[in-house]
Structure 1
């Protein structure tokens, strides 16, 4: 059943501009190359952020693994010490890079007045779980241990990401809680990819997942990350955060998702469980919005999304945060 009639009118036309992508082991290399080409063309229209200084670092990776490439963005007009956000790019665990999220990272650093460390974690299927989340943990630990030289306040560190980046951020929140080395103040989860069981549910939502990120793409992404079929037993919560049995002790959390997004129900359920576990949680569901709708920057629903996300992040990272 089509859900096009449910799409926000301001988001409909954009659907015809997004190419249909068939993700398979055979097409993955070409899809990655196409995305890089589109990004290179987009660079010509990138706005300037004169208040942000960016630098590259290669930080120690997980034990026995390569260094992790990170991009660090620091505002120059904000008094230090700064709050910080570890940002994790999306792409279904198989696509994307920190460089392709450059505008997002610069915008967050500028709008919030915080340091942003954007992680170039290794992608699946070349690096399946636990490689990607361990890369993110290595970057988080580097941010925490190098806070003084970065001018970062260690009591105001948040983690966040969109789509698969949101899924990795949620898994990273669990990992940081359980290892007890890095205190976190906030989880910033933008339509996060949390639950491999969405692929195998016997009663899928009839109106989600038709556009941008489909059930077929989702299956391929989870297969790549897990190295096996999704939905089975013994999946680690550090791979799929929704698998965690206990959510107590996690930092305050923001979750948002479109009503037509494949991840709608898994996001609502994760928010419900966080609230039941005593975790302060804010949830937004945007009507008529599909996965990645925020790419349509002039739509009113996208403007509402930007207001909600920036307000939540500013509040969480303020010195007197109490979400």
Structure 2
């Protein structure tokens, strides 16, 4: 099966990465993969995230969903902006719903968005699957959204300018959260930033099969992630709700404007394009970028590549327009 070529700069970085990073994740080795991720993934301290006083950072414990534990949030905002309420980015980390943490993603979010846009950030430490399957992780994110809006004055944020966002699995959670907030009549969300989001448990897109094992990940790993997240819900069955797999939504009207970006050479390409198209068909607003020659999470693996810099700058410009922040 022919595949689109990788961007030359990205290809060099990909070839230099440890192949063990991309070994298939199966139900049998998932717990070992989780343990390895916890040991290997960076987890900056509050002091390190503050970056010498550039940011005010704190860890918060807020009420979780009914009957569930509290949710940990990492709160960060540019220093010296305490006199006015700031727009808020509620951010969900990636990791296939089974890995990752709320701390490691913050340096990039703070440098790309918080500082240039004068934006506060809350990064959500949602519970991971399979230990906590759907709807637990999504309900953690919803509880964080509700708490943040209810405590806007305490946080120094503008409750009318709350954006939800995330990358990969976190992007899927952000899309599901926007749907859930709409349907529950919950807090109004101003926009959703969906970076190569994980949206479709059916994995039927052409790109899913075209790029399996060539992109960052393969069908085996993605199947494992979806099965872990869905728990007792059978992957691919009609019972999977749109809040878990947003491409299943039959009504995408009334959603906040969406920014969606994805690589042309990654497995999620087609489901991301289809989601943007479905929003347009419903009369909604979506801005879609398909970055040429880019694989999954390319800007994280190769931040200095020209296409990565273009992608980050374009996201920031979209947020600037959405928030009405002057250049």
- What is the TM-score of this pair, normalised by structure 2? 0.90
Q: 1:161 & 1:247 partners in 2: Cα distance? A: 19
User: C-alpha distance in 1, partners of 2:179/2:171?
Assistant: 13
Assess if the C-alpha contact under 8 Å between 1:21 and 1:31 holds in 2.
no
Q: Which runs of 5+ in 1 are unaligned?
A: none
User: What does 1:76-225 align with in structure 2 at a 5 Å threshold?
Assistant: 76-78=79-81, 79-107=83-111, 108-198=113-203, 201=204, 207-209=210-212, 210-225=214-229
Q: Which residue of 1 aligns with 2:323?
A: 317
Partner of residue 23, structure 1 = 25
User: How far apart, CA to CA, are the structure 1 residues paired with 2:148 and 2:306?
Assistant: 35
Q: Write the distance in 1 (CA, Å) between the matches of 2:191 and 2:157.
A: 15
Q: Which runs of 4+ in 1 moved over 6 A?
A: none
CA deviations over 1:126-155 (Å, ceiling 9, x no partner):
111100100000000111001001111111
Partner of 1:33: 35
State whether residues 207 and 268 of structure 2, in contact with CA within 8 Å, keep that contact through their aligned partners in structure 1: no
> Residue 274 of structure 2 aligns to a residue in which SS?
helix
SS of 2:296's equivalent in the other structure is coil
The count of corresponding residues between Structure 1 and Structure 2 is 316
CA deviation string 1:265-286 (max 9, x = no partner): 0000000011111211100000
Match of 1:14 in 2: 13
Partner of 2:309: helix, strand, or coil?
A: helix
| 1:224-244: CA deviation from partner (whole Å, max 9, x where unpaired) | 111244211121111111111
State the alpha-carbon separation in 2 of the partners of residues 41 and 244 from structure 1: 35
Tell me if 1:72 matches 2:71: no
Deviation digits for residues 19-64 of structure 1, max 9, x if unmatched?
3322123322332333333334999x98936321110111100001
**Is the aligned partner of 1:234 residue 2:236?**
no
Unaligned runs of 5+ in 2: none
- Partner SS state of residue 6, structure 1: coil
Residue 254 (structure 2) aligns with: 249
Distance of aligned partners of 1:221 and 1:205 in 2 relative to their CA distance in 1, 3 Å threshold: closer
